[in-house]
Amino acid sequence: MGFDAEFVRGLILRLPVVLFALTIHEFMHGFAAYRCGDDTAYRAGRLTLNPLAHLDVLGTICLIFGPIGWAKAVPVNPYNYGHPRRDDIIVSGAGIAANFTLGVVCALVLRFFGTQLAGIAEVGETLFSLVWVGSLVNFALAIFNLLPIPPLDGSHILENLLPAGAAIRFAEFRRHGVFVLLLFVLANRFIGEALGFSLLGYPIFRLMEIFSGMDLV
């Protein structure tokens, strides 16, 4: 990996986008939990849009330089929910919904104002790239967190949609989730390099294509 001018420029573009995407993701988890009756995140000082409250240094570095990343998980106590299974789905889905919405907004800006953005003297290319990266990062976080693999949000959603018996058996799978997730990421990378088709990349770029009107896939 060469630390040339182009790499540094890309890093400067990605950093604020990644920090905001991770921050809004965790904030929405905490806000949804608060609305569902659990003030654990609020009492922990995590019901904030200050990135420093949510920042996980290693997770942020991994997302900037690699294919995955994470922030510090917002603490929640499902026993405080009024309807535990329903509310856990809401809380788990809130971060995904926030990133998906931001991805759509950025893509629509490209669709309707991309030419105007790119045409702004001196800063047009930078603004266009910033919005493009914003769409990419937020769609990537939304799709990745939808995977039903512990500890990702999608696993909480699936577990609470399953019948009670199946949910208990699925919960036992959680202790192996990190290893399964790592294998999936490695397999996705291998498939992408071998076949030129990424299991994660395709839906991410397809969403960008649908909402931005750009030919990406």
Q: Which residues are catalytic?
A: 26
Cα separation, 103 vs 158, in Å, equals: 23
Q: Are 99 and 141 in contact (CB under 8 A)?
A: yes
Which residue, 198, 210, 194, 195, is CA-closest to 68? 198
Would you state the structure tokens that stand for residue 176, as one six-digit string?
């192996």
CA angle 58, 78, 69 (to 5 degrees): 15
C-alpha to C-alpha distances, 132 to 10, 11, 37, 196, nearest whole angstrom: 12, 14, 37, 22
